[in-house]
Amino acid sequence: MNRTSAELKRLARKHLVGHWGLVIGATLLLALIMSAVLIPFYFLFLISGGGIVQFGTYLAATLIVSIVSVIMQCGIMRMQMGFARNQETGIGMMFGEFTRRPDRYIVGILMMSGIGLICMLPGIVCWTIGIAADLAAASVIGFALYLAGIVLMLIFVFRFSLAFFLLIDHPQMGAVASFRESARLMDGNKRHLLYIYLSCIGWGFLGMLSCGLGMLWISPYMSQTLVSFYLDVTGELDRGQKIEPEIYFHEQ
């Protein structure tokens, strides 16, 4: 366990050999589907001249598409976990999570969104009041709370970063149980994951410099590295094969 980021990246490159076309195709297909669904709502909003109803419809469509996108991304992640386990994979796996209790993912998304809102709301409210009322002290305090909220939110994000991997791996597991187990697994591993993200910043800049085209390769590479991290933290890389962890899950 606790392999270095360089080792995890090496494993990611190894597991992607022969699979680049599949995962890039799935990533591109996901982007095209989401864009095709959202574009009509966006044009409807523009044609209406910015009507309230049309704007609300566009926001609702964006929310639904975002949730669907996360579930499909989990399908792609299961595909990449299959690469690491030498299992048979296919493009259809990106739609497979819709048949494996998708309500668990929706609850997980809402939980993460709620955590972010709780962390950021005090700073946003105080900062907004300070700016609106032209109160310098309130603005400064609000800005400080906003920065503190970002730090707190990141701590929770890292703490629960393995929740969706666990939901993918264990169809019987509920969202709350996955968050609880993620917190246990990430105890002592948050700094390691932070270092992995920091080591990928350069790749992210390269992807942006290529007008986003490079992300078709960089995003799967980063995701595969996170898969390696998950398998390392759970001890599966040392076991050499998938063995269900000895924990008791409670369905939500």
pLDDT in tens, 55-81: 788 888 889 999 999 999 999 999 999
Q: Is it the case that residue 125 has pLDDT exceeding 70? A: yes
Q: Is it the case that residue 242 has pLDDT exceeding 60? A: no
Q: Is it the case that residue 240 has pLDDT exceeding 70? A: no
Q: Is it the case that residue 243 has pLDDT exceeding 60? A: no
Q: What is the mean pLDDT of residues 92-116?
A: 94
Task: List phi, psi (to 5°) of 50.
Answer: 85, 35
15 versus 61: the higher-pLDDT residue is 15
- Determine contact, residues 123/140, Cβ cutoff 8 Å: no
The predicted-structure confidence for 36-57, as pLDDT tens digits, reads as follows 988 888 787 777 776 677 778 8
Query: CA-CA distance, 88 to 69, in Å (whole number)?
Result: 23
DSSP secondary structure string for all residues of 151-201:
HHHHHHHHHTTTHHHHHHH-TT--HHHHHHHHHHHTTTTHHHHHHHHHHTH
Q: What is the mean pLDDT of residues 9-17?
A: 94
The predicted-structure confidence for 195-231, as pLDDT tens digits, reads as follows 999 988 888 888 788 777 888 899 999 999 999 999 9
Neighbours of 244 (CB within 10 A): 7
Q: What is the mean pLDDT of residues 82-109?
A: 94
212 Rama sector, left if φ>0, alpha if ψ -120 to 50, beta otherwise: left
Query: CA-CA distance, 100 to 75, in Å (whole number)?
Result: 10
For residue 117, CA distances in Å to 31, 152, 180 come to 26, 11, 20
For residue 29 the two structure tokens come to 């297909």
Q: What is the mean pLDDT of residues 134-149?
A: 88
Query: CA-CA distance, 193 to 3, in Å (whole number)?
Result: 11
- State the chain's mean pLDDT as an integer: 88
Note the pLDDT of residue 60. Answer: 87
